[in-house]
Chains A and B, each alone.
Chain A
Amino acid sequence: MTVPGPIFILGVPVVMAVGLQFLRRWTTVMAWLGVLTAGLVGAVIVFLPLTQPWQLGSLEIKLGEPLLILGRELIVQPVDRFALAFLFFTTAGLFVVAWRLLPHSNFFPIGLVTVSLLAGALLVEQVVYTALLVVMAAILAVFPLHEPETLRGGAGTEEHGDGSRTSGGLRYMAYAVLALPGLMITQLLLDLFATFPNDQGLLSGAAVLMSLSFAILFGATPFQSWLSNVAMNGSPPVVTFIFTVNLGTVWFMLLSYLQSYAWLERQAAFGPLFTALGLLMMIIGGLLAASQQSLGRLVGYATLVDNGAMLLALGLERVEGIVLASMLLLARPLSLSLMTLGLQGLRDVGGGDDSREAVLGAAWRAPWRAVAFMVGGIALAGFPISLSFPVRWGLYRLLAAENLLWALLALGGSAGVVLGLVGVIRSLLTPPATGTRPRVGEAGVRAITVVEDRGVLLLIVVLILVSLILGLFPQQAGRLALQMAEYYTFFQ
């Protein structure tokens, strides 16, 4: 029996997710089954040729075989393989990170269903369904974002009225749904334009709605509040999942839109729009990060700056821009995972609070978590030594060739993130005052020295090493990004 590739890619994670729900008592088993599933699907996507069948018992899996559902076609195309591999391998990696951080969490089963929905969004041909599936995945991700265990102790919250403990998930869901009408109506307008090609109003309407929807999904200024809220009070590994896997899919969706409607890109002058939006995101993100008191929010604003850099790269309207943006996306899971590991530990030290006051002197109590947060932050800001550094450097050089002021402003945005990190370093390294040192076992206060979990320690060391190696030798990642960029021809 021949199984079309999309059934395997979408079905295996969903079936496994159902199984994982029954295994929630055994975190290690659940986490590693999740890792294996996501890794296996990713490996099949990368290594299995599209046309050659793979014999699995009595089943014959054909990756390139289309799947028809009520007349709608789902098909794995060469261009989708990079995106799908990114989604599944990143998910597998994040499950490893979450293994030691989220015991008995529903992140593992829901993460698999979410990545399956996102993969479906990339495989389906019609953009309406892509939009619907992306938004459904966003809504689903809210469940693990705010689990009762992570909310205990008021983790990363600001006590200001109803809903603040769960405001991240609520805002994320609301903004994702707000982006939906624009994406769905865009296709209607473009279909109408195909019938009435002289009506330029339809084209303008489509361009405006599409830009607005993507701006909301990327958390572009002035819609950045969901990014900071999610980062502030969400469970850190799930925050990383949303900022890499979910936002990564939005990024590939944007590229797919531009590829499908290349004539729209030419007529609606998206280049200057992306440049302006990207610069604004980097400047505002940098300013907000520099003045940030909460470590969680700093993660959110650093991501805003990174999103801005990606849009700025796209605004160059060159293949190199797509390569640079793709490399930034590749680098993000590493830097955010490190920040996540650090943030979770520092929050624990602060008794669930991640404000600078709460983590005063935390570097003396949880040194590895502090190092992870700092190295991850520096990498996300695009400073040496990290994969983001050569990418951002390349971006500044290309920008400077067009306009020196833009390059300086973009650099300023990144510097803002580093300034915010410097403030955090000062708080983390402040030695606890004599006489006010908390006693072990005192109510509401954690132990003075945190004994690190060996698994977490190993993860931190491995992630730092990989980050450094990729920073020193970025050629392989660059080659990968270049291969992917060659499929997108709308700038040629």
Chain B
Amino acid sequence: MSPLVAWLARFSHLTSGPAVWGLFLAGAVIYLIAEWRIRLLALFVQYFFLALLFSRLFANRPELALLKMLVGWLICGALYFSARVRQDAVGGRSHFHWAADLPFRAFSLATFTLIAYLASQRYALPFVPENLALACFLLTVLALLFIGTEEDVVVVGVGVLNLLAALDMFYSSQDPGLLVTGLLIMMNLLVGLVVSYLAVVEVPE
């Protein structure tokens, strides 16, 4: 086992609780802050927390968790290049600013988070540890918020990726087969590529 994989496995046992909330906070940053560099950094961090949680699921094969993290970071890289192209096409400098309709966003995020938390308390997901169940619910509500209330290609795409992560976490708890895991990794890569592609082609010439 490589030192990085061993470290990831050891670290995940200590921090799976905080990792769930780290995952959520990274999602909240993507939803509330409109600056693309911060959003991509938050996505980068989110994949780190996801890998920590996955390393609990794949206790015997932590390299799979590492693979998921690397794929996530690869997607972040693709999205970074697309965002750069968009920025160059539009012109001007990127600066920190909150997303439009901030009070509405904050309110809907708080409401959805509460719903996810209560759902995780009330509906136990079969064969899924409590922390991971909460992560599944949080990722799902984040995905619904991103897909339902955003127009930006990259944010909607992150929503799709979050939904896939929630599904992956849930399904891997039930049936940790290699083929499904592999297909889901391929699907993540495809989604990342499509989002990156759409972000570039929608820029007017």
Contacts and interface: CB of A to CB of B under 8 A. Distances in A.
Interface of A: 69-70, 72, 128-129, 132-133, 135-136, 139-140, 142-143, 146-148, 151-152, 154, 161-167, 169-170, 173-174, 177-178, 180-181, 184-185, 188, 192
B201 A128 contact: no
Contacts of B163: 177-178, 181
B151 A146 contact: no
B153 A162 contact: yes
B186 A151 contact: no
A45 B85 CA distance: 45
Given A72-B179, A163-B198, A174-B159, 19 more contacts: A129-B179, A132-B183, A136-B183, A139-B191, A142-B194, A146-B201, A148-B201, A163-B151, A163-B153, A164-B151, A165-B202, A166-B202, A170-B195, A173-B160, A173-B191, A181-B163, A188-B171, A188-B174, A192-B126
Given A151-B202, A170-B157, A184 B171 contact: yes
B164 interface: yes
A291 B180 CA distance: 44
Q: Which of A143, A146, A162 has the most chain B CB atoms inside 10 A of its CB?
A: A162
A166 B201 contact: yes
A188 B175 contact: yes
Contacts of B114: none
B164 A142 contact: no
B11 interface: no
Contacts of B159: 174
A184 B187 contact: no
B152 interface: yes
Contacts of B7: none
A140 B197 CA distance: 11
Interface of B: 126, 147, 151-153, 156-157, 159-160, 163-164, 166-167, 170-171, 174-175, 178-180, 183-184, 186-187, 190-191, 194-195, 197-198, 201-202, 204-205
B67 to A, nearest CB: 17
Interface SS majority for chain A? helix
Contacts of A142: 194, 197-198
Given A129-B179, A177-B191, A170 B184 contact: no
11 contacts: A129-B183, A136-B190, A142-B197, A147-B201, A148-B201, A154-B204, A166-B153, A173-B160, A177-B163, A181-B166, A181-B170
A184 B195 CA distance: 24
Contacts, number: 93
Q: Nearest 4 A-B pairs (CB), nearest first?
A: A166-B202, A166-B198, A163-B151, A165-B202
Contacts of B198: 142, 146, 163, 166, 169-170
Contacts of B195: 170
A185 B171 CA distance: 8
B187 A135 contact: yes
B164 A163 contact: no
Contact of B194 (A129, A132, A143): A143
A181 B139 CA distance: 13
B145 to A, nearest CB: 12
Contacts of B174: 188
A33 to B, nearest CB: 24
B152 A162 contact: yes
Q: Which of B147, B153, B166, B201 has the most chain A CB atoms inside 10 A of its CB?
A: B201
B39 to A, nearest CB: 13
A305 B144 CA distance: 27
Contacts of B179: 69-70, 72, 129
Given A161-B151, A163-B152, A178-B163, A136 B186 contact: yes
Contacts of B202: 146, 151, 162-163, 165-166
A140 B167 contact: no
B190 to A, nearest CB: 5
A75 B191 CA distance: 28
Contacts of B197: 142-143
Contacts of B151: 161-164, 167
A165 B201 CA distance: 9
B153 A170 contact: yes
Contacts of A161: 151
A108 to B, nearest CB: 17
A163 B175 contact: no
A372 to B, nearest CB: 27
A154 B204 CA distance: 8
Contact of A70 (B166, B178, B186): B178
A173 B164 contact: no
A157 to B, nearest CB: 10
